[in-house]
Structure 1
Amino acid sequence: MNEPLLSVRGLAKHYISRGTKLTILQDISFDIGKGEVVGLVGESGSGKTTIGRSVLRLVEPSSGSVRFDGTELTALTASAMRRARPRMQYIFQDPYASLSPRMTIGEILTEGLTIQGIGKREERLDRARSALEQVDLPADALNRYAHEFSGGQRQRIGIARALTLSPEFIVADEPVSALDVSIQAQVINLLRDLQQRLGLTMLFISHDLAVVEYICDRVIVLYLGRIMEIGASADLYARPKHPYTRALLSAIPSPDPDARRNRQILQGDIPSPANPPSGCVFRTRCPKALDACARTVPELREVAPGHFKACIRDDLD
């Protein structure tokens, strides 16, 4: 891994709802190297989006450290955080809800530049045109409205909005999950091309493990607000160490209809964050659980070079 651009240590997020404490994230720690794409995967309700928003302080962490290029983001004042934001941008999941229907595309793309006081009007429009060109949309889109574009085109506009501020780091939050399958590949290829061409560092959030395998250098597997496994993409997909990762990978559809896959079906639903299981949070659905799993919170430990898992069992390595 290259020198870390983002370092997260002990990140936690809690909410109080009707007098009940909801633990959304607990003890989240990871690094993302400069120019690296790290995937964040897990079932709905695992806390993926909360991590993405917490590291950019779109939601405030309850505790923990988030260092970006050596600067502790959680210690910044609101004005200092605003000055830091051009370096880190967010691509939202829903291309329909994330673009204002009352603003032209030109207004949407230049809004961040205006807030940051970057350039004069024509300079901002030039940067907006350049961003549209980078996502393969015509410059005349500036004068149109979001409803005039397809879902795939809207997501390209969302990507262009992130690019106008020339960021170094992007959180892509399920950027293709709302799109037709035929359009997903185009947008993923676009993101991959932009990442390589611009040298972007990226946290790529998705529930689609096939997409993550294609675009990501490393993968973080999340379950009920805790990290289960971290590893290089090729290694994790070929040699998963955690029972949860194995279950997720077994569910990836195979293009070969004759291929046999040892499908591991997880029983039940992900538990409520208001009442998480004791010990290992995955134990209530784990086919390999031991009695000790109810008493021990497993530490994330290195079980192979660059490969980490949170499981007390050594016989699964």
Structure 2
Amino acid sequence: MVEPLLSVRGLTKHFTPTSFSRGPVVRALENVSFDVARGEVVGLVGESGSGKTTVGRSVLRLIEPTTGEVRFNGIDLTKLSVAEMRRQRKHMQYIFQDPFASLSPRMTIGQILTEGLHIQRIGTREEREHRAKAALEAVDLPADAFDRYAHEFSGGQRQRVGIARALALEPQLIVADEPVSALDVSIQAQIINLLRSLQMRLGLTMLFISHDLAVVEYICDTVIVLYLGRIMEVAPSEALYADPRHPYTRALLSAIPDPDPAKSRTRQILKGDIPSPANPPSGCVFRTRCPYAVDRCAAVVPPLEEVSPGHFKACIRHEVSG
């Protein structure tokens, strides 16, 4: 069996109060486990507050996991020192959600793109500039962008710079955190098409975070559905969209607009808001909004079980009506 590029086991993240803040423990992630194969695009989906970004940042140790393993190329990143982790980061890059806040206004685009190469001591100055300009070309930006500043570009162009910054280090893994949510709809399609083209051409491995299930269907091979820090369902993209097994997934998919006006789709409205991770429900965390919940759901944390080849769900009820 081929070892996955990224293997996450029992990832848990609790934000605890400090001497400067008071309040309860925030249980952002609980026992999250998944694999990402080389060349695969895995989508993390769920409502705001489900823990998607916390997973992405914990994987790269931009925030420190509370417990769990994050194995990258067989190495447990959670056991590495700061210096060892810095060396590993050249193989893992992050595309941020906000293209306006993620680029320094005081640096030229060339400086932004070569900064990581300089930190990692990769190549000579001329070699770093060559790789940066090649990355600009890969994201369809002109070579003269190298000497310009971020404020001279539109939001979509800035996000292309963010993608180029990630590509310049030639990483093995890219975490794309809501990379189009801050952009106009017309620009979103261009960036998604660019990412898909780059993935196919370069064989990129990506962890793609989004709340937009239509986008995830288009770009991802496998989809992980998160709710309140726990995995509800995992399946190949085609299987999940054709036959969602968890009631939460069904509710999310029912909200996707159908481009064919002749088709009717029954919308499954979730009652109430997602609970606070500082006070999650007992048992199944989705039970307070689930139309199929029974008394036992309050007592049992449902394990993630395989219901068909490669398709997993966390629900104690074997079947629920669609």
How high is the TM-score relative to the length of structure 2? Answer: 0.97
Contact kept? 1:2, 1:34, Cα under 8 Å: no
Equivalents in 2 of 1:142, 1:191: separation in Å? 21
CA-to-aligned-CA distance 1:279-309 (integer Å, 9 cap, x gap) = 0000000011111000100000001000000
Equivalents in 1 of 2:219, 2:278: separation in Å? 34
Contact kept? 2:307, 2:313, Cα under 8 Å: yes
CA-to-aligned-CA distance 1:177-232 (integer Å, 9 cap, x gap) = 11111111111111011111111110000000000000000000000000000000
- Which of the numbers 113, 127, 130 marks the counterpart of 2:131? 127
Equivalents in 2 of 1:139, 1:153: separation in Å? 13
Equivalents in 1 of 2:151, 2:118: separation in Å? 23
Q: Give 2:250's aligned amino acid.
A: R
- Counterpart check, 1:71 vs 2:67: no
- Which of the numbers 79, 85, 101 marks the counterpart of 1:81? 85
Aligned-residue offset at 1:16: 1.6
2:11 alignment counterpart: 11
- Counterpart check, 1:41 vs 2:45: yes
Equivalents in 2 of 1:277, 1:19: separation in Å? 18
- Which of the numbers 156, 159, 165 marks the counterpart of 1:155? 159
Unaligned runs of 5+ in 2: none
RMSD: 1.1
Contact kept? 1:4, 1:33, Cα under 8 Å: yes
- Counterpart check, 1:258 vs 2:262: yes
Equivalents in 2 of 1:79, 1:197: separation in Å? 32
Aligned-residue offset at 1:19: 4.0
- Which of the numbers 181, 187, 194 marks the counterpart of 1:190? 194
Equivalents in 2 of 1:129, 1:316: separation in Å? 53
CA-to-aligned-CA distance 1:17-43 (integer Å, 9 cap, x gap) = 314111000000000011000000000
- Counterpart check, 1:112 vs 2:116: yes
Equivalents in 2 of 1:71, 1:80: separation in Å? 11
- Counterpart check, 1:287 vs 2:280: no
- Counterpart check, 1:61 vs 2:65: yes
Q: Tell me the secondary structure at the aligned position of residue 26 of structure 1.
A: strand
Equivalents in 1 of 2:52, 2:2: separation in Å? 23
Equivalents in 2 of 1:16, 1:5: separation in Å? 31
Aligned-residue offset at 1:2: 5.9
Aligned-residue offset at 1:316: 2.9
Aligned-residue offset at 1:258: 2.6
2:170 alignment counterpart: 166
2:185 alignment counterpart: 181
- Which of the numbers 91, 94, 100 marks the counterpart of 1:96? 100
Aligned-residue offset at 1:144: 0.5
Q: Tell me the secondary structure at the aligned position of residue 288 of structure 2.
A: helix
Equivalents in 2 of 1:140, 1:25: separation in Å? 43
Contact kept? 1:92, 1:173, Cα under 8 Å: yes
Q: Sequence identity of aligned pairs in percent?
A: 75
Aligned-residue offset at 1:111: 0.4
Cα 1:252–1:2 change in 2 (3 A) is farther
2:148 alignment counterpart: 144
Q: Give 1:197's aligned amino acid.
A: R
Equivalents in 2 of 1:133, 1:26: separation in Å? 41
Unaligned runs of 5+ in 1: none
Equivalents in 2 of 1:287, 1:233: separation in Å? 25
Equivalents in 2 of 1:85, 1:248: separation in Å? 34
Q: Give 2:10's aligned amino acid.
A: G
- Counterpart check, 1:305 vs 2:318: no
Q: Runs of 4 or more off by more than 3 Å in structure 1? A: none
Contact kept? 2:292, 2:320, Cα under 8 Å: no
Equivalents in 2 of 1:164, 1:270: separation in Å? 38
Q: Which range moves more in the overlay, 1-10 or 152-161?
A: 1-10
1:272 alignment counterpart: 276
Aligned-residue offset at 1:257: 2.0
